[in-house]
Chain A
């Protein structure tokens, strides 16, 4: 269950017989807890949307789905960079892994810049959290997610630093796997938020 059980020479050749927890158990308690909180937000949003379909549809029409699409692709790409970085770590290509982690963080930065531009546009147009229920949910859900993106970027940059200084697979893999899992969760939550807020009819 712990990273220490993985041998440095064959970490890639895991089979179903030797199942492996990616990261510490505590990280997974946090991830599943976080996902559950977001799931409740998704359900409450969908329920309110069903109560006032015209208001939600009219408000949704003021959003730019192009931003949402581009940001989804940025986070998917960022997640993919982290997967490649973890592959590099396991192939003992630590410096390449560091570069890939930095690229992942850059995608996160791109997401953040677009998000700030989007918030600026909306606030400039007088669309704020108190405008209506849709906008209240829009700011709470995307804002809460945005906090996760910022924290995730910091974690990924620490992962880059770790990789650059050299990875000891016995002692560092668990931290890297936990951080990677957290960053994938940030991606995963946005995968639901994008259609839920920007596209659903």
Chain B
């Protein structure tokens, strides 16, 4: 059982929980140092960074056939990018 838990993905899980808690603090306005207009972009970038971590390390796309990995990475970039463009009222 020990070899199962002492896998690098346990660190990924801890990082994901830490980033989630930080996002909540930023979003609830508890954290200082981030201007209000940057809250949403920061939250989006952190969220899609987390999504990519789940994809690469939990869904094992890191070692998946390249077309599948590229498709996933494209989804992350396009979805996050378009949300940012909408937020900054470019589109």
Residues of chain A touching chain B, judged by Cβ–Cβ distance below 8 Å, are: 1, 14-16, 19-22, 28, 32, 35-36, 39, 42-43, 46-47, 50, 65, 68-69, 72-73, 76-77, 79-80, 82-84, 87-88, 91, 93, 96, 100, 177, 180-181, 184-185, 187-188, 191-192, 194-196, 198-201
Residue of A nearest to B74 (CB): A32
Note all chain A residues with C-beta closer than 8 A to B79: 39, 42-43, 192
Q: B40 is contacted by which of A65, A87, A200 (Cβ under 8 Å)?
A: A200
Chain B contributes a number of interface residues (CB within 8 A of A) equal to: 50
Measured CB to CB, the closest approach of chain B to A186, in angstroms, equals 10
The answer to whether B24 and A84 have CB atoms under 8 Å apart is: no
Note all chain A residues with C-beta closer than 8 A to B83: 42-43, 46, 196
Residue of B nearest to A187 (CB): B54
Provide the bound-state CA to CA distance between A21 and B4, in Å. 21
The answer to whether A200 and B51 have CB atoms under 8 Å apart is: no
Of all A-B residue pairs in the complex, the 6 with the closest CB atoms, nearest first, are A199-B27, A80-B13, A195-B43, A39-B79, A69-B24, A22-B60
The answer to whether B4 and A201 have CB atoms under 8 Å apart is: no
The answer to whether B71 and A32 have CB atoms under 8 Å apart is: yes
The answer to whether B43 and A96 have CB atoms under 8 Å apart is: no
Provide the bound-state CA to CA distance between A159 and B63, in Å. 22
Measured CB to CB, the closest approach of chain B to A149, in angstroms, equals 15
Provide the bound-state CA to CA distance between A91 and B43, in Å. 37
Residues of chain B touching chain A, judged by Cβ–Cβ distance below 8 Å, are: 1, 3-5, 7, 9-10, 12-13, 16-17, 20-21, 23-24, 26-28, 36, 39-40, 43-44, 46-48, 50-51, 54-55, 57-61, 63-66, 68, 71-72, 75, 78-79, 82-83, 86-87, 89
Q: A22-B59, A192-B48, A199-B28 are in contact. Are A73 and B20 (CB under 8 A)?
A: yes
Number of A-B residue pairs having CB atoms within 8 Å of each other in the complex = 143
Provide the bound-state CA to CA distance between A54 and B80, in Å. 23
Note all chain B residues with C-beta closer than 8 A to A65: 24, 27-28
Q: List 23 A-B contacts (CB under 8 A).
A: A15-B63, A19-B65, A22-B64, A43-B82, A43-B86, A46-B87, A50-B86, A50-B89, A73-B17, A76-B16, A76-B20, A83-B7, A84-B5, A87-B7, A87-B9, A184-B54, A191-B16, A191-B50, A194-B20, A194-B23, A200-B40, A200-B43, A201-B27
Q: A16-B63, A191-B50 are in contact. Are A84 and B40 (CB under 8 A)?
A: no
Interface centre among B44, B59, B66, B68, by most chain A C-beta atoms within 10 angstroms, is B59
7 extra A-B contacts, CB within 8 A, seeds A84-B4, A200-B44? A32-B72, A76-B17, A76-B20, A181-B60, A188-B54, A199-B26, A201-B40
